[in-house]
Structure 1
Amino acid sequence: MTAPAATGRLLVGRAAPRRRPSAGQVVTVVLLLVLGALWIYPFVWLVSASLKTSPEIFGTGLGLLPEEPVWENYARAWSEVGFARYFVNTLVITVGTVVLVVVRSALAGYVLGRYDFIGKKFIIGLFLVTFFLPEGYTIISITQLTDQLGLLNTHAGLILGLGAGGQIASTLLYAGFFRKLPQELEESARLDGAGHFTVFFRVMLPLAWPITATVVILTYLFAWNVYLLPLVFTLSEPDLRTLAVGMTVFVGERETDWSGMAAAAVISLIPVIAVFVVLQRKFVDSIAGAVKQ
């Protein structure tokens, strides 16, 4: 009885032999590391440039380490140039656009995915056609409609201009998800006395959280970085500029403040990175689910 127990203890205590990686795995890891370094290098260089003077940016070339960090670039971009105000404008417009797009795309996708009606295929086909229209083709009509509503130089007008469009991709994502949900979910909710909007907001929409995360990320990136429509809407109202439009402040008639522009670019990228880090798992899960389907 003693010998087998001792043998068992020796086997348990002995570490299992590790399997050596093959040559192909080593090559794959090295290639991925090189591609990752190339992918992240522009961002690292941007952060480095934001801590240099403009002459040093061009004097050091691709070098990353500044001779002496110039933190005043961030202070100048944030307070003196007015990026604090642009940041608030962009945040308000982005959040409003995301909420508007999620609600209307989810409602439209719910109808297209769960109900059959006359003209449904025509509407989907029309969506797909408008999906390929460039932004420049619709900016005149959007500006005129917003002007007629009396919202041309306001945050609300810009939110409507950005979020009240077709949003085809978001609508079709919701439609594809809602189409695959079992009918029993709605039937049991209606037996409990729930109406159409109660079924949608309390039963169906919470189940579509992975799709909502995807739509939030895509819409957030679009609204945060969009340039053309905010430029048109803020030509006569500089105080309403967004971060993307505010970058033009650093470009003068005779010179460009490259270090200040780099600092402003880093400031504008931080919220984008933060949102993606928080929602990346849901985003990847929704994309993986779409591929499996």
Structure 2
Amino acid sequence: MINECFSVNHLDLVFGKNTYRAFSALDVGKNRDQIHKEFNQIVAVRKVDLTIYHGEILVIMGFSGSGKSSLLRCFNGMNGRDHGHVRGSIQFRPPSTNQVFDILHCSKNELLEIRKHRISMVFQQFGLMPWKTVAENVAYPLEIQKRKSNEIKEQVEEKLRLVGLSDWKNKYPHELSGGMQQRVGLARAFVTNADVLLMDEPFSALDPLHRKHLQEEIIQLQYNLKKTIIFVTHDFSEAVRIGSRIAIMDSGRILQIGTAKDLIENPSCEIVKKFTTEVGHHQIFS
């Protein structure tokens, strides 16, 4: 379909030195615990098939160790290229182009360009450079792209206005609250005008008030800018609040994917049911 952003096909991700043993063990039906015990290999993602559409917020969630962050990092090649070994493919279709890239097998130069211009990542720990000001942190991706200085200044000012930090542009990260630091991270991700944002539990360290505020900002920014967002969390309430669809993972596999209404009304298994019972029916249909 033309509105597909990512098509993930039969994806396995394994960490270790002898991953061929792990792949062979997977093929004969052994589970991740057996493979870790017998071969000291870690199966992080197993048999994932997934389609993500342009302009949606897909939330990936699961308990600690479920594979959600490992899967997220496959979408820009951090896992499967820089770390770990994979089988399968992740086809990426940027909007307004007929090109299709296989993230896991395209050339290094193609992957570099994708990371520079097409896919940005927002980390849980913000990833700010303490020796740079707020404005300099936000400008950094554009400097890597070798943009003109006047363009960089214009884009930085625009994105800082977007996240409400114009008056803090000359401050350093240690002078900001945690919520403000996270907003700097968001501005830096948005400044590249990337088509896709990967967000790895970006609000988990924040207090409830700042967390709710930034959830609202993400929803509004996505509405205004029409980005595709893949968002990892372990909080089903957060997933319900921001997600177009939710994928629930366990032991490296996706157990179920659908809207919050789908998951609550028709959970596929007990693990999905455990997540969905923490959110009241009224929160979905109000």
Q: Hey, which of these two has a bigger chunk of strand by percent?
A: 2
**TM above 0.5:** no
* TM-score bracket relative to the smaller structure: under 0.3
Q: Hey, which of these two has a bigger chunk of helix by percent?
A: 1
